Structure 1
Amino acid sequence: MLTLPALSEVLGTALILAACAYVFLAAIALHKSRAPRLAMPASSGRPVTVLKPLCGAEPRLYDNLRGFCRQHYAEYQLVFGVRESTDPAIDVVRRLQREFPERDIQLVVAPQVYGHNLKVSNLINMLAAAKHDWLVLADSDIDVPDNYLSHVVAPLADPGTGIVTCLYRGRPGGGIWSQLGTQFIDEWFAPSVRLSQMFGSQRFGFGATIALRRDCLEGLGGLATLKDTLADDYWLGELSRRQGLRSVLSSVVTTTDVTETSLASLWAHELRWLRTIRALAPAGFAMSFVCFTLPILGIGLILAHNSYNFVMACAGMMARWWIHFTQRRGRDWQGAVYEAWLVPVRDLLLFIEWTVALTRWQVSWRGQVMNAKGHDPA
């Protein structure tokens, strides 16, 4: 039987090995995912409808929506939707209609609610105005390059494709909390996705972008199937995979605004993400503690503080900071250096959030309190 000191040594070493294995593999996955600037794919000639549900005058809303009006694509329709006639986002859409008269831009104002998920209700109302059979569902707070649409819809030409989705990087709105939120996206979420992709996973479906054909959507039971789910983006991919269709992670990476201005707002947002992940993949969530590199390495050294573990932990720490700097590649280098001190804060806060996410299922989303542990919509 192992003595307590021996057990501590084994446990500490195991934690350090697990944390190092994750961070090294994540760094490799990020390196492998780097690609030169994408050339424009040959046009499929298929017209596309982009559905953009809106709610309120978000920061940079005009700039983000304007990017969708400037796409290098032959024929596409933009459908914006709000629930209330007093929504300030309406003024932004009207401005775009005046600025781009050549674009097919429609606004749907419809208060009908079909379930607990108000975003899905909005999309159901908007879908009636969609003219085309290739659909792109895109969040309101993403910024996209001019070739976004052509790359995102290209895989839909293959009948074996169910959905196409995009990764995204964060853009902080200013202040420490938005910087930490950006690091959550760039240094935890994105590396985890790239690592899953490297090992062949197709369990992708991110609300920033979901592209699919209308016949695929109807084959899943339509948007009404998702009216009471929290993770509607995930379930669009999961249900299509159950039909034998492939999920594609696009080569396009979009940008999302991170606007949290307080610890409370950041905490609520990230806790919603974590509890949703826990509901969808409980085993994976339980093991995800190895992703919180610096706290796990610290705990491992406390339990097993020998020279071999110290060297391994130092190597793991270097890899963790490499991820921080490589994810800021091509952007503000001075900002990356300044924010490097936030890396241990980011990892520790995420570890605490993960622990709290184990305790309950309730999440807060756009003023609603919902239960993350939803039922399988199928």
Structure 2
Amino acid sequence: MLYIIAVAGTLLAANTLSLMIAGWRIRSRQDETPSVPARPPVSIVVPLCGVEQFSRETLESALSLDWPDYEIIFCVADKTDPVVCLAEEALRKKPLTKAMISVGDDRISANPKLNNCVKGWNAASHGWVVLADSNVLMPTDYLARLMAAWRPDSGLVCSTPLGSRPNGFWAEVECAFLNTHQARWQYAGEALGFGFAQGKSMLWRKKTLDSHGGIQALAAEIAEDAAATKLVNTMGLKVHLVAGPFEQPLGRRTFRDVWARQCRWARLRRVTFPHFFAPEILLGVVPPLFLCMSAALISGTSLFVAALAVLCAAYAPELILAARKNWYMSPLSLVAMVTRDALLPIIWMRSWMAGSFDWRGNRMVIGSQGSRLEAGVAGPIASP
């Protein structure tokens, strides 16, 4: 029984330690803009596909940055995509001298987002290039924060998405996944020397990537951020994160939306970094809760007291982190965190099974052994 309690205590201690590291590493959104010694010209490549609830706002944010010299290249695979009209409207409302909409599809991989970025990367005229998702809400100091995170041993600077403005319970659950779970573990991992790229915002020194195969080198993996992580590591460099993650407004989410997205990300992690993904089954409250309840049952102590102690030890530090960093919180946040943790082991087990999902009009197929990665035109229904 003591062994069971020790394992549960170790898991809870690791959970608390990761929250403490993230709390030390991540700056609050209210902090001042970091100072940067130089402000070189920057190209920002933004792949667009379809119109989302906050598309107008996120597009305009990219055109309102406080930076002396930058260009925006909006990339669209299909000229009939309705997002083209929205991008043109944003350019009329927020005119930028160096801004363009580039249309075309270079199919260098099974990754539609990467294919969409190729023309933008090739058209970029500056030595620094940011690949940024269209649903990132860029603050005016977006480029300053990316540049401030660059170090002598950096090969890439990224940001995780910070969920905000959820509408409905399942969007609250998505916030719980993105913020105090995924962002927390990614920042804790980076602080411990295990930096992983995140495709939401990626700052590259263009000559570095071009000298190692160019943007085509990111087609080596099904996910461009996984390929970026491995490529940077082979260069002997590191992936670093911005001091504070950039916001991604969520809007409404359904259970199916959250399930599909989390299963997709879990499968991609499983096939690209299986040795890091396997221990993910130990994350969340379920393993220590199960162990402590088992110990309480064996010893004849109160199951309620044991469960309450575990829940307090797991969630009190998480709620404190969100509050201290001024991240989104509501009366439903705790329930959303519990729901997230209940889903984690199910998603983990589901990720080891073969399946397909619709990703930006392409059906991605991942085999149960991670050996088959295919893409094609998606049908009307794709399994998550």
Is 1:219 the counterpart of 2:211 in the alignment? yes
In 2, Cα distance between the equivalents of 1:369 and 1:14?
Answer: 45
The TM-score, its normalising length taken from structure 2, stands at 0.86
Number of the residue aligned with 2:289: 298
Gaps of 5+ in 1: 1-8
- 1:28 Cα offset (Å): 1.4
1:181·1:260 contact (CA, 8 Å) conserved in 2?
Answer: no
Cα distance in 1, alignment partners of residues 188 and 236 from structure 2: 23
The equivalent of 1:275 in structure 2 is 267
Q: CA offsets, 1:17-64, max 9 Å, x none?
A: 243122221221232124361334235241100000000111111111
Superposed displacement of residue 375, structure 1 = 8.9
Map 1:29-44; keep pairs closer than 5 Å.
Answer: 29-35=21-27, 37-42=31-36, 44=38
**1:186 has 2:167 as partner:** no
The answer to whether residue 319 in structure 2 is matched with residue 324 in structure 1 is yes
Q: Does 1:201 align with 2:194?
A: yes
Root-mean-square deviation (CA, aligned residues, Å) is 2.7
Contact 2:58 2:136 in 1 (8 A): yes
**Which of 12, 15, 23 matches 1:23?**
15
What letter corresponds to residue 321 of structure 1 in structure 2? Y
Deviation at 1:209?
A: 0.7
Q: Does 1:338 align with 2:325?
A: no
Partner residue, 1:87: 81
Query: What is the CA–CA distance in structure 1 between the aligned matches of 2:197 and 2:283, rounded to whole Å?
Result: 21
Aligned residues: percent identity?
23
Displacement of 1:108 in angstroms is 0.2
Equivalent of 2:61 in 67, 84, 104: 67
2:190 and 2:240 in contact (8 A); partners too: no
Query: Secondary structure of the residue that 2:240 maps to in structure 1?
Result: strand
Q: Would the aligned equivalents of 1:11 and 1:303 in 2 still touch at CA under 8 Å?
A: no
Q: SS where residue 73 of structure 2 aligns? A: strand
Name the SS of the counterpart of 1:128 in structure 2. Answer: helix
Residues 361 and 324 (structure 1), Cα distance of their counterparts in 2 relative to 1, 3 Å cut: farther
Query: Whole-Å Cα distance in 1 between the matches of residues 36 and 180 of structure 2?
Result: 33
Residues 189, 113 of structure 1: CA spacing in aligned structure 2 closer, same or farther, 3 A cutoff? same
Shift of 1:172: 4.3
Distance 1:90 1:358 in 2: 38
Deviation at 1:106, TM superposition (A): 0.6
2: CA distance, partners of 1:367 / 1:298: 40
CA contact (8 A) 1:172 1:258 kept: yes
Structure 1 residue 186, shift from structure 2 partner: 1.1
Query: CA contact under 8 A between 1:116 and 1:229: conserved in structure 2?
Result: no
- Amino acid in structure 2 at the alignment position of 1:366: R
**Judging changes above 3 Å, is the alpha-carbon distance between structure 1 residues 347 and 119 closer, same or farther for their aligned structure 2 residues?**
same
1:171 pairs, out of 147, 164, 172, with: 164
- Kindly state the Cα deviation for residue 311 of structure 1 after the two structures are TM-superposed: 7.0
Instruction: Quote the residue 2:381 is aligned against.
Output: none
Check whether the contact 1:168–1:208 (CA below 8 A) recurs between aligned residues.
Answer: yes
The alignment of Structure 1 onto Structure 2 pairs a total of residues equal to 364
1:328 shift after superposition? 4.4
Cα pair 2:34 2:148 within 8 Å, conserved: no
C-alpha separation between the residues in 2 aligned to 1:331 and 1:154?
21
Summarize the alignment of residues 41-52 of structure 1 with structure 2, pairs less than 5 Å apart. 41-42=35-36, 44-52=38-46
Residue ranges of structure 2 left out of the alignment (5+ in a row): 374-384
* SS of equivalent to 1:50: strand
Does the 8 Å contact 1:301/1:310 carry over to 2? no
CA distance 1:212–1:321, change in 2 (3 Å): same
Q: CA deviation at 1:15?
A: 4.5
Whether the 8 Å CA contact 2:180–2:321 is kept in 1: the answer is no
- 1:101/1:283 CA distance change after superposition, 3 Å: closer
Asked whether 1:351 is paired with 2:345, we answer yes
The structure 1 residue matched to 2:239, chosen from 220, 230, 247, is 247
Residue 253 of structure 2 is aligned to residue 261 of structure 1: yes
Q: Contact 1:271–1:363 (CA<8 Å) still a contact in 2?
A: no
| Rounded Cα–Cα distance in structure 2 between residues aligned with 1:93 and 1:291 | 40
Shift of 1:336: 2.4
Aligned with 2:46: secondary structure?
A: strand
Shift of 1:287: 1.4
